[in-house]
Amino acid sequence: MQLNLTGRTALVTGSTQGIGLAIAAGLAGSGARVAINGRSPETVARAIAQLSEQVPDAQLIAAPADVATEQGAAELLRILPDVDILTNNLGIFGSRPALEITDAEWLRYFEVNVLAAVRLIRAYLPGMTGRGWGRVQNIASDSAVVIPTEMIHYGMSKTALLAVSRGYAKEAAGSGVTVNSVIAGPTHTGGVEDFVYQLVDRDLPWDEAQREFMRLHRPQSLLQRLIEPEEIANMVVYLSSDQASATTGAAVRVDGGYVDSILP
């Protein structure tokens, strides 16, 4: 299957590092023009320099803005009034004892992980349906389904994203626009690498360290290793393509079999 996104414009929120950066590389590598987003012009410029080396001929747009605020979303829309592919990747996570999550934290997780995505869908969906083609993916997590007791607020925000995806897929029914969520499992990003070395012997080489971490702390994973960001990106590139035209309203798993369920 040849996935060709030439002529499409994509926005990936939170794409200066981690999974977002890998998604941006995947989309650009398949020919899309990709807007790179993070909170500061410096981190965005650094990511663009890195992607330009990694993907020769990449067409990249600098789109710095704090999309977790109404004002930031408005700034982003001025830079980029229309997109064909919207990947809501931005998400924050952190652990907190269940009974100590404050009202402010509940609201912050809702604002950053849910409302930021909803605002952009609201802004870009009418253009997509008007043109008769569009792709929206919301990056959710295994924590949407297997709610961690140390991150209930994070789990809540990702469960909400599944509902948002399903609901807006219905809104776009019959239009040629698809809306899906991607359930990402434990993934090898910088933050997660630090986290792994907090829990296993620091002297272990990375490959052994991650397998030990998975064996002890994520035994449900069928993959038995962390997922590489590119493996999440591959699914997003596919969902962004013409070939994925019959997949909409779905929660698609790239979780290494972590969620112990046959469906979805």
Ligand X SMILES: NC(=O)c1ccc[n+]([C@@H]2O[C@H](COP(=O)([O-])OP(=O)(O)OC[C@H]3O[C@@H](n4cnc5c(N)ncnc54)[C@H](OP(=O)(O)O)[C@@H]3O)[C@@H](O)[C@H]2O)c1
The residues in 124-163 that bind ligand X, with binding defined as CB under 6 A, are 139, 141
- Piece in contact with ligand X (CB under 6 A), picked from 3-11, 101-109, 182-190, 211-219: 182-190
Non-local (6+) Cβ contacts of 127 within 8 A are 81, 82, 83, 134
Nearest distance, CB of residue 204 and ligand X, angstroms: 19
The bridge status of strand 177-184 relative to strand 134-141 is: parallel
Least distance CB 20 / ligand X (angstroms): 5
Task: Give the DSSP letter string of 199-254.
Answer: HS-TTS-HHHHHHHHHHHH-TT-SS-SPBPHHHHHHHHHHHTSGGGTT--S-EEEE
Nearer to ligand X, 67 or 244 (CB): 67
- Active-site entry in 154, 197, 238, 258: 154
Sign of CA dihedral 153, 156, 158, 161: negative
Stretch that binds ligand X, among 49-57, 103-111, 167-175, 187-195 (CB under 6 A): 187-195
Is residue 258 flagged as an active site residue? no
Name the strand (E) or helix (H) holding 181: strand 177-184
Work out which of 29, 55, 85, 91 binds ligand X, going by CB under 6 A. 91
Q: If binding means CB under 6 A, how many residues of this protein chain bind ligand X?
A: 29
Nearer to ligand X, 42 or 242 (CB): 42
Give least dist CB 4 to ligand X, A. Answer: 26
Sheet of 9-12, strands arranged across: 59-62, 33-36, 9-12, 85-88, 134-141, 177-184, 251-254
Per CB under 6 A, the list member of 11, 19, 24, 125 interacting with ligand X is 19
Residues lying near ligand X in the complex (CB under 6 A) are found at 13-20, 37-40, 43, 66-68, 89-91, 93, 112, 139, 141, 184, 186-187, 189, 191-192
